[in-house]
Structure 1
Amino acid sequence: MSRYLSIYFTNLLADYLAIKKPELKDQVFVFTMSQKNRIMVTAASREAEKQGIFASMVLADAKAIVPDILAFDDKIDFNKKLLVRIAKWAIRYSPIVAIDLPDGIILDSSGCSHLLGGEEKYLETIIGKLKESGYNCRGAISDTIGTSWAIARLGRKSPIIESGQQYNALLNLPPMALRLEQSIIERLHKLGFDKIGKFIQLPASMLRRRFGNEMLLRLGQALGTEEETITPIIVKAPYEERLYCLEPIRTKPAIEIAIEKLLDALCLRLSNEGLGIRSAELRGYRLDGRVTETKIGTNQSTHNIKHLGKLFELKIDKIEPALGIELFILTATKTEPVLIHQEKLWSGKPGLADQNLAQLLDRLAGKIGPQAIRRYIPQAHYWPERSLRPAISLDEKTDIKWQKSNPRPMEMLHKPAAIQVTAPIPDYPPMNFRYKDELHQVRKADGPERIEQEWWMSKGEHRDYYILEDDKGRRYWVFRSGHYNEEGSAWFLHGFFA
């Protein structure tokens, strides 16, 4: 039996603008569009509705009520584009999602709700997430699209209709719950049919004669006697593989087998398209409704199953299967083309192109964390703190060369440390300096090297750098900030040589 979730946004455009511009949250504003030489209100904020301003009202009438009302032009199809974005977000809860113009979306929730602990929890989670984002909405679940649509908008009792109970759920709702044209609704009210229960049992021939085929079609769709389908939005297929388990998985060897099967299928797809994984996520859906997440990353794109499997092995101990995992989903969250480097006929040094190096760094990152591994490349700046930056990957290259005319330390402090220095005369290197309560006697020195402040980026004094070697053979990179000052110049330690 199919189940459908209909979500109704009570004030979509106004909520969206309030999210983008929080200062308008409690303001009186409307969206407008030109129709038949008149400017009409297409959506109104909640504060505007409290003042008696609603959609389909002429803007001039709205200004008569609130003279200083804010009016925004309603972009063509903006409502549709916004619903499509929300529908794409909702695909995480159902593979089949459609927009329902002008103010809703519909999810085919068949076989999906149990992953979140049942329909009540499923509905509560989705509506809760949307409300957290700033959208005021309501939802309902039933066997048919029509009944879900009606309950989401006009229902006052339970939003979840038990299977086969559409008839009883519709009885006390007004005719507009059947998605009829306005002219038919007005005719029904003139005849005293203010509730569906007053005409739902009338003969089909009588309803057709008085209200046309649309009445029977909409009534049948709501009850489930007429077929109704939705047109799901098409999203570019992600690089994702799913593995449904016949029995819940709880052991480490079983999880390893599941990962291997998923990698086999995913890497085959990627290799056929010349792509590799840069980051991947493994989700395990447990029997208790919780989801475990495990992520890996690589320095170079790869579809090497053995290597990727080892990276996941490092994380298996963190996976908590609890009562058991019934579904695994492996997603390549970031992919890039695989660079195949030409092997040399004679022995040589492959350098950063060495796949073994990339795989070693991946394993180290899996053990100690990716933040502990850095590769730096030069930047076009004179100021030392700005002359280098972290590389995005091992493959990233730059045309800028490292500065070789004057040596730079292997280790630079994130922020230069103040030191106490004894210097004989101006422009002479220090005789000694004190750093962290330790006195260093200088035996050799080289400098100064003057580096001017990059005035187009910031203001400040220049620096005069010296390379100093103390009596224990340790070498340091220190500088004096600005010109020599008889009252005491400011000296700093900036780096350590190997």
Structure 2
Amino acid sequence: MSRFLSIYFTNLLCDYLAIKKPELKGKVYVFTMSQKNRIMVTAASREAEKQGIAAGTVLADAKAIIPDILAFDDELDFNKKLLVRIAKWAVRYSPTVAIDLPDGIIIDSSGCSHLLGGEESYLQTIIGKLTASGYHCSGSISDTIGTSWAIARLGKKSPIIAPAQQYNALLNLPPMALRLEQPIIQRLHKLGFDKIGKFIQLPSAMLRRRFGQEFMLRLGQALGTEEETITPIIIKAPYEERLYCLEAIRTKPAIEIAIEKLLQSLCDRLAKEGLGIRSAALKGYRLDGRVTETMIGTNQPTHQVPHLAKLFELKIAQIEPALGIELFILTAIKTEPVHAIQEKLWSGKRGLADQALAQLLDRLAGKVGQQAIRRYIPQAHYWPERSLRPAVSLEEKTEVKWQKSNPRPMEILHKPAAIQVTAPIPDYPPMNFRYKEELHLVAKADGPERIEQEWWMQQGEHRDYYILEDDKGRRYWVFRSGHYNEEGSAWFLHGFFA
């Protein structure tokens, strides 16, 4: 016998926002979306509903009622995304959970409720957890999805309907409890059928002729004479491997063997799906109840066990086994498709596509940290500090070419540093400059190179750049901001040549 639990969220969007922003408690706010050249309210807080603002109200009208009302943009399908999150959470109570747009979820509780002490305790536990999280919701359990849906939203008595009692449970409910279209509901009310009990015993042929097949289908689904199924959400199994140890592990060689076994199992699975690891975490559960964790990252997705094992080997020193580790869990936190690279037979230079280079960077990152390794690519800007940006990965490319007409320093300061300069006028290079309390005598100079700002980004002075070499052979990139003036121009140090 099947049993279904329907959960109805009375104001899902506003409850979610109140959870994320506790400071909104007690305030009047709405969600809005542009519809037919007008901004309409899609959801309203309880405080807004008390003052007559509900879904479908024009935002301008809502502001006329409450001038200081807060309006938040409603994302497309945001309701669906929230319901999917909640449904994934509810999988702990049943393996079969589906979303019920626009405001509910359906749980197939068949054979599950006894695990929590029966249906009453099962329902109270789930509703209690959601209520404690901040959601206002109600639920009902019955033999059919239709009856559970109706009682969860319109029922006023017991939320648990005994087996085969859905007929009696529906008698005193309005026609809208059958999930009917609005025109059919209006037609029923015109005929005086304000409760299901007034027409449920009428001949089927008469009801079908008067209200259509859809009406008969919904009535049959609620009573259980018509089949109704749900489409459960599918939670993708995590890329995770576990290794239980017969005896607690404490030594480095034993930990290395455990890591290799876990990597072999995980990489075999990823290789079959054409995926590789970009980041992975290894957890060790110790005898004293504590958990030790270490993580690795790669510049390119890979499922090569020897390379990944070397990266974890660099982290073994961070693992503190204490009395011993009895369980290892290896999880691939981030995976990406692995694209096979066609190597050129006669070319010995593979550049950034060389896997040996990517593996070297991975090992260096394991020693000095991923943040210490950077790759930059050019951007289409004149201003030097805007002309490059960090690359997301080794594979990222751009059609913009590096500026080669004039030399650029190997190191550019993020923010130019002000310096004191002695220079002839008007466009001669400096004779000396002082930077960090050190006086630099200029032996050689080249320039100027004038670089203007992009007018569409911001207004400001142009820059005249000079390459200066001091008496000790050190080379610098300095500029004067704007034209020379008698009060003294502003000079800045912007980079260092190798």
State the TM-score, normalized to the length of structure 1.
0.65
- CA deviation after TM superposition for structure 1 residue 265, in Å: 2.3
Of 138, 160, 178, the match for 2:161: 178
Q: Does 1:256 align with 2:240?
A: no
Q: Does 1:405 align with 2:388?
A: no
Q: Check conservation: 1:97, 1:106, Cα contact below 8 A.
A: yes
Tell me which residue corresponds to 2:215: none
Q: Check conservation: 1:9, 1:138, Cα contact below 8 A.
A: yes
Q: SS of the residue aligned with 1:445?
A: strand
- CA deviation after TM superposition for structure 1 residue 6, in Å: 9.6
Tell me which residue corresponds to 2:329: 328
For structure 1, which segment, 86-95 or 359-368, has the greater mean C-alpha deviation from structure 2 after superposition? 86-95
Q: Aligned equivalents of 1:425 and 1:436: distance in 2?
A: 24
Tell me which residue corresponds to 2:312: 312
Q: Does 1:278 align with 2:278?
A: yes
Alpha-carbon deviations, 1:112-139, whole Å to 9, x = none? Answer: 99xxxxx9xx9899769944xxx45699
Give the count of matched residue pairs: 423
Q: Does 1:487 align with 2:487?
A: yes
Q: SS of the residue aligned with 1:176?
A: coil
Q: Check conservation: 1:278, 1:336, Cα contact below 8 A.
A: no
Alpha-carbon deviations, 1:243-265, whole Å to 9, x = none? Answer: 25264755355443333223212
Alpha-carbon deviations, 1:94-115, whole Å to 9, x = none? Answer: 87654477545659999x99xx
- CA deviation after TM superposition for structure 1 residue 436, in Å: 0.4
Unaligned runs of 5+ in 1: 32-40, 60-66, 114-118, 154-172, 190-217, 219-228
Distance 1:139 1:384, change over 3 A: farther
- CA deviation after TM superposition for structure 1 residue 85, in Å: 3.2
Distance 1:100 1:130, change over 3 A: farther
Distance 1:246 1:268, change over 3 A: same
| Aligned ranges 1:108-119 → 2 under 5 Å | none
Q: Does 1:384 align with 2:384?
A: yes
Distance 1:288 1:129, change over 3 A: farther
Q: SS of the residue aligned with 1:178?
A: coil
Q: Check conservation: 1:130, 1:136, Cα contact below 8 A.
A: no
Q: SS of the residue aligned with 2:159?
A: helix
Alpha-carbon deviations, 1:361-402, whole Å to 9, x = none? Answer: 111111221111011111111110111111111222222221
Q: Does 1:471 align with 2:484?
A: no
Tell me which residue corresponds to 1:366: 366
Q: SS of the residue aligned with 1:177?
A: coil
- CA deviation after TM superposition for structure 1 residue 437, in Å: 0.5
Unaligned runs of 5+ in 2: 33-40, 58-63, 117-121, 174-221, 223-228
Tell me which residue corresponds to 2:241: 242
Q: Aligned equivalents of 1:393 and 1:42: distance in 2?
A: 40
| Aligned ranges 1:33-432 → 2 under 5 Å | 45-47=45-47, 68=65, 82-88=82-88, 97-99=97-99, 103-104=104-105, 106=107, 130-131=133-134, 135-136=135-136, 175-178=158-161, 184-185=168-169, 232-235=232-235, 237=236, 240-245=239-244, 247=246, 249-251=248-250, 253=252, 254-284=254-284, 292-319=292-319, 324-326=325-327, 328-345=329-346, 348-432=348-432
Q: Check conservation: 2:275, 2:335, Cα contact below 8 A.
A: no
- CA deviation after TM superposition for structure 1 residue 355, in Å: 1.9
Distance 1:378 1:320, change over 3 A: same
Q: Check conservation: 2:6, 2:104, Cα contact below 8 A.
A: no
Q: Aligned equivalents of 1:440 and 1:53: distance in 2?
A: 71
User: CA-atom RMSD, angstroms?
Assistant: 5.7
State the TM-score, normalized to the length of structure 2.
0.65
Q: Aligned equivalents of 1:6 and 1:321: distance in 2?
A: 47
Q: Aligned equivalents of 1:482 and 1:408: distance in 2?
A: 20
Distance 1:125 1:335, change over 3 A: farther
Tell me which residue corresponds to 2:436: 436
Q: Aligned equivalents of 1:440 and 1:448: distance in 2?
A: 19
- CA deviation after TM superposition for structure 1 residue 442, in Å: 0.4
Q: Aligned equivalents of 1:460 and 1:139: distance in 2?
A: 63
Alpha-carbon deviations, 1:177-214, whole Å to 9, x = none? Answer: 3389887248799xxxxxxxxxxxxxxxxxxxxxxxxx
Q: Aligned equivalents of 1:417 and 1:245: distance in 2?
A: 57
Q: Does 1:27 align with 2:21?
A: no
Tell me which residue corresponds to 1:453: 453
Q: Aligned equivalents of 1:435 and 1:352: distance in 2?
A: 38
Distance 1:333 1:75, change over 3 A: closer
Distance 1:292 1:333, change over 3 A: farther
For structure 1, which segment, 451-460 or 93-102, has the greater mean C-alpha deviation from structure 2 after superposition? 93-102
Q: Aligned equivalents of 1:314 and 1:256: distance in 2?
A: 11
One-letter identity of the residue aligned with 1:474: R
